[in-house]
Amino acid sequence: MCCLFFPLPRTKDSMYHALTYATILEMQAMMTFDPEHILAAGNTMKEAQAVCQRFRKKSTFSNRNSTEEELHAEVCYAECLLQRAALTFLQDENMVSFIKGGIKVRNMHSPYVSTHTISSSYVHGDNHGHFEGGVKLGVGAFNLMISMLPTRTLRLLEFVGFSGNKEFGLQQLTEGAAGQTFRSFLCNMLLLCYHTFMSFILGTGEADVEDAEKLLQPYLKQYPKGSIFLFFAGRIEVIKGNLDAAIVRFEECCEAQQQWNQFHHMCYWELMWCFTYKRHWKMAYFYADLLSKENAWSKATYAYMKGAYLSMLTREECQPFRESEVALFRQVHGLKQKIAGKSLPTEKFAIRKARRYLTENPVTLPAPPLEMMYIWNGYTVIGKHKDLTEGMLKTLDEAQAKLESSPRTEFSIDDQCLVSLLRGLCLKHLGHQEEAEHYFTLVLCNETQLKFDHYLVPNALLEHGLLCLEQGRKEEGIKLLETAKSGRELKTAGLGQVAHPVNRAGSIAAGRPVETGAAAQPGGLGTARSHQAR
């Protein structure tokens, strides 16, 4: 933890030492969601902002007569505001946090606009590269952040004068990462987060692995035991579908350092999914159990996942764990929480699915880990390997057989439609496109009979539309995607902001400009389809 104390001696009189120390504390707060860490980071960032203020130009800021120190103070000041805004969104559990955060974003926007104009037309001093790197980091992060907000939120921001261009944001961050400046590392980390998390989870499950590997390799070569680099290396292997290699990387990440347990928790989350993809339910349960004991991000989600894994085991296999799926599912609702005044989409989904276990004689869920896997875009991972996909299809066939042999209940249609959607996905990845289309259509044919899982309809339309586009049936595919995001379907599903992932998927596949969209995840991670599940 020496990184926490290295900048301390000069935090009161050096804007860069103050900003560096505050940034380290903010990173810690973002990983823990601990209220004390968030408060400490906010106070320290406020103090860093005050230090930067002392060095700013006293009159109206412009490139004329501004000293090199004043230019750096301006960009450091804007960076403090940007990070304080992010913290504010985490701090309070009501709309006040969003109002405060919005004010900070507005105050931050003007300095970045001014400094961006200057950086492209004015060179001042030997350290101009560091100033320019700060501008590219801020402008890039701002544009990327705004561009990935839900469409409805983005329209409100555009109404008051904010807009975000994803491609421009990525360009600025790429240029910032390429330079040898103070902020090159942060630009690199943001790009890695985008390529390995945001584009994968918020989109259709695809990610730019090649770019991510190019960004990561120099750091991994120089710091082969660096935990953050090992973690990103693991994420890249997951996206490529190389699960055994990913597991090794995440285990190495846990062994590399013992100071920040949050890195361990992020690895546990990834390991849980790796073993889910491999259908190793006991190992997946093991990591879900570790998270439930050590991490506070979403106790409800962890309890749900533990119950989900136990539901895939026989009664004898469950005995060593001394827990039952029914008891765990009944705990889920009581464990819900809010972050930044909002319930986590994945918790909402878990609570809704676990409701059926509150009755005296609950009707069991059909293969719940496989459903949650869809919410987190997991089928894109297993789809890269035939054996993984065939294994998952076998599990779904067993779930279907169990449904057919069980007494009919009020959940029967919903459960059969869920299994049909997931079977269709597996068959699509195996190249059996006609069979896949049959199962997607089966969900749509039962739309009016669905009682609970209305989210299945827009998702079946989404998957059917993407399948048509893959087959070259562009007009039909676009029509299905447009239907998926239509007001009628969304109201039926009760999903609110489901349009944005469907928009993104359709736009990407059809080659049209991408509309914006967003969501949320542990240690700070999110999912597009979890918004759909609301």
Same domain, 320 and 400: no
What percent of the chain has pLDDT above 90? 57
* 175 falls within a domain: no
Same domain, 293 and 390: no
The one-letter code for the residue type at 432 is: H
Same domain, 223 and 307: no
Same domain, 396 and 426: yes
The model's confidence at residue 206, banded by pLDDT at 50, 70 and 90, is: low
Global pTM reads 0.85
Same domain, 532 and 438: yes
pLDDT at residue 102, as a whole number: 60
The one-letter code for the residue type at 100 is: K
The model's confidence at residue 504, banded by pLDDT at 50, 70 and 90, is: very low
Residues sharing a CB contact under 8 Å with residue 270, sequence separation 6 or more, in sequence order: 231, 234, 235, 238, 246, 250
* 269 falls within a domain: no
Same domain, 403 and 360: no
Phi, psi torsion values for 338, nearest 5 degrees: -125, 145
Listed range (118-122, 146-150, 239-243) with the worst mean pLDDT = 118-122
* 266 falls within a domain: no
In the structure encoding, which two tokens stand for residue 316, read together? 């004898």
pLDDT at residue 104, as a whole number: 62
| Domain limit, last residue, from 365, 381, 416 | 365
Q: How many domains does the chain have?
A: 4
CB-count exposure of residue 348 (10 Å: 0-12, 13-18, 19+): middle
C-alpha distances in angstroms, 271 versus 237, 241, 407, 522, 523?
12, 13, 36, 13, 14
CA-CA distance, 174 to 452, in Å (whole number)?
44
Q: Does pLDDT of 89 surpass 50? A: yes
* 424 falls within a domain: yes
In contact, 523 and 266? CB cutoff 8 Å: yes
CA-CA distance, 530 to 515, in Å (whole number)?
18
pLDDT at residue 496, as a whole number: 37
| Domain limit, last residue, from 365, 383, 398 | 365
Q: Does pLDDT of 187 surpass 80? A: yes
CA-CA distance, 135 to 21, in Å (whole number)?
19
- Average pLDDT of the residues of the chain: 83
The count of other CB atoms within 10 Å of the CB of residue 224 is 12
Q: Does pLDDT of 106 surpass 60? A: yes
* 20-66 pLDDT, tens digit each: 999 999 888 887 777 788 889 999 999 999 999 999 887 665 555 67
Using CA atoms of 449, 534, 284, 367 in order, give the dihedral in degrees to the nearest 10: 0
Residue 105, Cα to own-chain centre: how many angstroms? Answer: 21
CA-CA distance, 290 to 287, in Å (whole number)?
5
In the structure encoding, which two tokens stand for residue 168, read together? 């421009």
Q: Does pLDDT of 184 surpass 70? A: yes
Return the H-helix or E-strand segment holding 146.
Answer: helix 128-147
Same domain, 437 and 500: yes
pLDDT at residue 148, as a whole number: 76
3-state secondary structure of 338: strand
* 177 falls within a domain: no
| Domain limit, last residue, from 142, 170, 198 | 170
Which carries the bigger pLDDT value, residue 394 or residue 144? Answer: 394
pLDDT at residue 37, as a whole number: 86
Phi, psi torsion values for 342, nearest 5 degrees: -120, 140
* 38 falls within a domain: yes
Q: What is the mean pLDDT of residues 298-310?
A: 97
* 267 falls within a domain: no
In contact, 310 and 324? CB cutoff 8 Å: yes
Q: Does pLDDT of 275 surpass 70? A: yes
Smallest CA-to-CA distance from 503 within 155, 150, 159, 193 is with 150
CA-CA distance, 251 to 37, in Å (whole number)?
26
Same domain, 385 and 501: yes
Same domain, 153 and 220: no
Same domain, 133 and 192: no
CA-CA distance, 459 to 178, in Å (whole number)?
39
In contact, 514 and 486? CB cutoff 8 Å: no
Q: Does pLDDT of 514 surpass 80? A: no
* 178 falls within a domain: no
The model's confidence at residue 386, banded by pLDDT at 50, 70 and 90, is: very high
Q: Does pLDDT of 396 surpass 70? A: yes
3-state secondary structure of 527: coil
CA-CA distance, 300 to 337, in Å (whole number)?
8
Same domain, 57 and 187: no
φ/ψ region of 523 (left if φ > 0, alpha if ψ in -120 to 50, else beta) reads left
Long-range contacts of 400-407 (CB under 8 A, 24+ apart): 402/366, 403/366
Listed range (290-299, 353-362, 517-526) with the worst mean pLDDT = 517-526
The one-letter code for the residue type at 334 is: G
Same domain, 24 and 102: yes
What's the domain range around 81?
1-170
Q: What is the mean pLDDT of residues 518-529?
A: 38
Phi, psi torsion values for 377, nearest 5 degrees: 60, 30
The enclosing domain of 195 has a CATH number of 1.25.40
In the structure encoding, which two tokens stand for residue 13, read together? 């009189």
The one-letter code for the residue type at 62 is: S
Place of tokens 């209940």: 409
The model's confidence at residue 232, banded by pLDDT at 50, 70 and 90, is: very high
